[in-house]
Structure 1
Amino acid sequence: MAYKIITKCPVCGSNLKITRLRCSKCSTVIENEFELSKFAYLSKEQLEFTEVFMRCRGSIKDVEKELGISYPTVRAKLDEVVASLGYKVDKKSTISSSEVIDKLEKGDISAEEALNLLKE
């Protein structure tokens, strides 16, 4: 039985390195220090969010609908994933006030969400 690989040290929380690979067919063993993808270090929740985001082809509106969460929550989760992958997150909102008003008029966001976005 294969287990999901753990990527964080249970003692100190730092990233673990893969040092041994074994072929399940011929039992060949290779030892060295191997790199994992940045995505391997995402939490289960971050990876699930990323999968939904990709399935929705980056449409925040579709992610909102599928997960039943607000626009600001989608943005916060996306920023968290971006930061976890090692990229700088611009704290400024990339949505303009006219886009906020359009979303409000279409009923995509509530008045409270619009106010929060405008405050950002």
Structure 2
Amino acid sequence: MDYKIPHQCPICKHEMRVTKLACTHCPTMVEGEFRTCKFCKLPDDQLLFVETFLKCRGNIKEVEKELGISYPTVRSRLDCVIESLGDHKRE
């Protein structure tokens, strides 16, 4: 079973880093200190929203239809994703 990488230490709440990678086909392993991407840190609900938003090419009306939510909810979720990615500027 594949688990999502924890990005926050359950003890001290600081950032976690990936330190070992393994090939799914052969016994190759790589050790080091690797950062994950910003999108990998998003919670599952925000990641689903981003995937839907991209699939709909940013068309908010299409996102509304796809997810069955209202325009203000789409905007609110988009703002939350932007904030989670580290852009705290809102107009």
Q: What TM-score do the two structures reach when normalised by structure 1? A: 0.66
The 1:13–1:44 alpha-carbon spacing in structure 2 relative to 1, beyond 3 Å, is: farther
Structure 2 unaligned regions, length at least 5: none
Tell me the residue number matched to 1:86.
Answer: 86
Tell me the residue number matched to 2:76.
Answer: 76
The 1:71–1:2 alpha-carbon spacing in structure 2 relative to 1, beyond 3 Å, is: closer
Task: Give distance in 2, aligned partners of 1:75 and 1:12.
Answer: 33
Residue 13 of structure 1 deviates from its aligned partner by 3.7
Residue 47 of structure 1 deviates from its aligned partner by 0.1
Structure 1 unaligned regions, length at least 5: 93-120
Tell me the residue number matched to 1:64.
Answer: 64
CA RMSD of aligned residues (A): 1.7
SS of the residue aligned with 2:30? strand
Higher helix share: 1
* Higher Cα Rg, which structure: 1
Q: Deviations over 1:21-56 (max 9, x none)?
A: 122333232211111111000000000000110111
My pick for the range that moved more, 29-38 or 52-61, is 29-38
Q: What TM-score do the two structures reach when normalised by structure 2? A: 0.84
